[in-house]
Amino acid sequence: MGSCSYCDTLYLFSSKSDDYGQYCSARCQLATNLLVRSRGIEPAEIERLVQETYHSNCPRCGGPGPIDVHKAHQVWSVVFLTSWSSKPQLSCKGCGTKRQISAMITSFLFGWWGFPWGLGMTPVQIVRNVIEMAGRSKSNTPTRLLEKYVRLNAAARLMQSSEQATPATPPIINTPPGRPEPQGDERYMPKTVAK
């Protein structure tokens, strides 16, 4: 049994690992590699992107910011099966609170019905939502989760732009021996469309 290097999820078997750790999924492995890559971005640029994101409009409702990463903690159970999660979402405080209240109601109604984890995890997830809602009202600065979100996106854009900057290798045209190269042949010339 181990713990994911990215999300701290407990797992029995890990199929994903690299120089930076062991992971519960390929998604967590990619996120860790993006965070490592983001260390090459200037701290001033990361701070600028964090502030720009924090003061932008909510991507959920379109309302004015500030926006941040808000987690909703939820659990549901059926007899011996219990599932719990903590899902982050980039949104304004109002949208984050609505999601957390919804997660609390779902946990309260459907969390208790599993043994033994349902009985234990239901109050934990409900309290996590309450702490999350109460803690954010005091803070007027971006959280570390928002910085992590910005770093992941900046590194993903950096990786995408570096992949696009690499020119694709032109296809190799093999011509049989004794045949001339297709230079000057209209069949191989680029086509132009008249407008």
pLDDT for the residue 127: 94
> Which residue is associated with the tokens 């409009």?
57
> Which residue is associated with the tokens 């190799």?
172
Round to whole Å and give the CA distance between 59 and 128.
24
Q: How many helices (H) and strands (E) does the chain have?
A: 5, 6
pLDDT for the residue 53: 92
Strand ranges in the chain using DSSP code E only, listed in sequence order? 2-3, 10-11, 16-18, 21-23, 67-78, 81-92
51-100 residue pLDDT tens: 999 999 999 999 988 999 999 999 999 988 888 888 899 999 999 999 99
Q: How far is CA 153 from CA 30, 41, 49, 187, in A?
A: 12, 12, 10, 44
Closest CA to 31 of 151, 162, 141, 142: 151
pLDDT for the residue 174: 39
Q: Is the pTM of this model over 0.85?
A: no
pLDDT at 160 over 90: no
